[in-house]
Amino acid sequence: MAQPLGKAYEQVAATQPRGTYRGAVVGCGRMGSTIDDEHIGMPHYPWPWAHAPAMIEARGIELIGAADVDRAKLDDFAQRWGVDALYEDYRELVAQEQPDVVAVTTRPDERAEVVIGLAEAGVRAIFATKPMCRTLAEADAMIAACKASGTILSIACHLNWYNWYTNARQAIADGAIGRLRSMVCHSPHTLSNLQSHTLALFRLFAGAPAEWVMGEMDDEEQAAAERDLSGSGYIAYANGVRGFLNSRADRSGHGWTLEFIGERGMIVSRNAHAQFELWGTHPETGEPIQRQFPNPWHPRSSMVDAIEGVCRALEEGEERICPGEFGREALEIAIGLRESHRQGNGRVDLPLADRALRMG
Ligand SMILES: NC(=O)c1ccc[n+]([C@@H]2O[C@H](COP(=O)([O-])OP(=O)(O)OC[C@H]3O[C@@H](n4cnc5c(N)ncnc54)[C@H](O)[C@@H]3O)[C@@H](O)[C@H]2O)c1
């Protein structure tokens, strides 16, 4: 959601969900519960990151229960978050506690079964972490099941809600860099796992679906197999915007850089979203000139903003920031880039005909 301009109290009111929803977490491991323990001493990024504390902090939702097949994880969850409606079967959680919004933070291999089961049980909104799943057929089935039950499906590529990127999109909409022409990501990480964040952001910024891709994988043996892998690629979006993934990037861990390049300037995020720059064009000389990036008025955890966003999507009847279709496209691009490599680095049109293709 674009940051509304105006007075502080107006911003607070405009972003607050109107209702109060019952929230639950399925999968009480790192992403569901404990991942913030790993990030002590990373002050540039507003926490919490795990879904349970983000749900506690978010407005318009209360964390009321959780499910995990592992009883020890549930015990740890209870001790951390003070929740006692805990179940080893997510179906029982839904039947007993009737949550409105369920965060799915299991591993990707279980994702489709859990999401489809939740949709069929009538959950109103599902916030499922990335990567969406393993195969394109699973992604199709998840989207179809949610559509059939009227369930909002949001993919938790939470950078799509991070207010620095929200302000970057607003700056582009306001003409700060002219028409967006291309997006570049420098990152050595794997296509399905980490790059699902990049590809969901690309889709949001492009504002159009990807039509075709060309790719080169970093390792021949991995390119012939099904596991997640790193690689570079070119993505053609339907409206003429182009995306570039450069996997030959800095491996120091701070090398995740994104560039959004327009006709008259660019926005850059460096060091894994730590610094944002806005470059425009000097009105008289035409030279590049750095301008003040429109910093968020109230920098917050993207996971908190995302969970509030899911509640607002429930009220609006539509998820626009990261719907299931964006998660499926991220997987489809990753698989398409690998298909391109397998076929001699040529153009591969999307959607892919073979829905059994798998990554991870
Ligand atoms: N968005 C991010 O920034 C981010 C960061 C880290 C991990 N993740 C994603 O989160 C997902 C989980 O990763 P993790 O590291 O938290 O894994 P994890 O193994 O720590 O947690 C997964 C949990 O799911 C539980 N589980 C498995 N099947 C279940 C079922 N049917 N019902 C209920 N619970 C079930 C497991 O017992 C486990 O506790 C992965 O897809 C990963 O890519 C996302």
The CA distance from 31 to 15, in Å, is 24
pLDDT tens per residue, range 110-123: 999 999 999 999 99
Our answer on whether the CB atom of 188 is closer than 6 Å to any ligand 1 atom is no
Q: Are 187 and 249 in contact (CB under 8 A)?
A: yes
pLDDT value at position 1? 43
pLDDT higher for 87 or 9? 87
pLDDT value at position 42? 74
Q: Confidence class of residue 5 from pLDDT cuts 50, 70 and 90?
A: low
Number of neighbours of residue 316 by Cβ within 10 angstroms: 11
Rounded to the nearest angstrom, the distance between the alpha carbon of 248 and the centre of ligand 1 is: 28
Question: What global pTM score does this model have?
Answer: 0.96
Q: Which ligand 1 atom lies nearest to the CA of residue 88?
A: 33
- Judge whether residue 3 has pLDDT over 70: no
Q: Confidence class of residue 292 from pLDDT cuts 50, 70 and 90?
A: very high
pLDDT value at position 14? 87
pLDDT tens per residue, range 316-329: 999 999 999 999 99
Q: Are 133 and 142 in contact (CB under 8 A)?
A: yes
Q: Which domains does the chain have, with CATH numbers?
A: 8-159 (3.40.50.720), 163-296+328-349 (3.30.360.10)
- Judge whether residue 37 has pLDDT over 50: yes
Pocket test for ligand 1, best of 31, 51, 92 (most atoms within 8 A of CB): 31
* Cis before 351? omega within 30: yes
- Judge whether residue 299 has pLDDT over 90: no
Our answer on whether the CB atom of 312 is closer than 6 Å to any ligand 1 atom is no
pLDDT value at position 242? 98
pLDDT value at position 253? 63
| Mean pLDDT score across all residues of the chain | 95
Runs of H (alpha helix) within the chain: 8-15, 51-57, 71-81, 90-97, 108-120, 136-149, 163-173, 195-206, 220-224, 302-316, 324-342
pLDDT tens per residue, range 195-205: 999 999 999 99
Rounded to the nearest angstrom, the distance between the alpha carbon of 30 and the centre of ligand 1 is: 6
Q: DSSP for 298-309?
A: S---HHHHHHHH
Our answer on whether the CB atom of 27 is closer than 6 Å to any ligand 1 atom is yes
- Which whole number is the average pLDDT over 258-281? 95
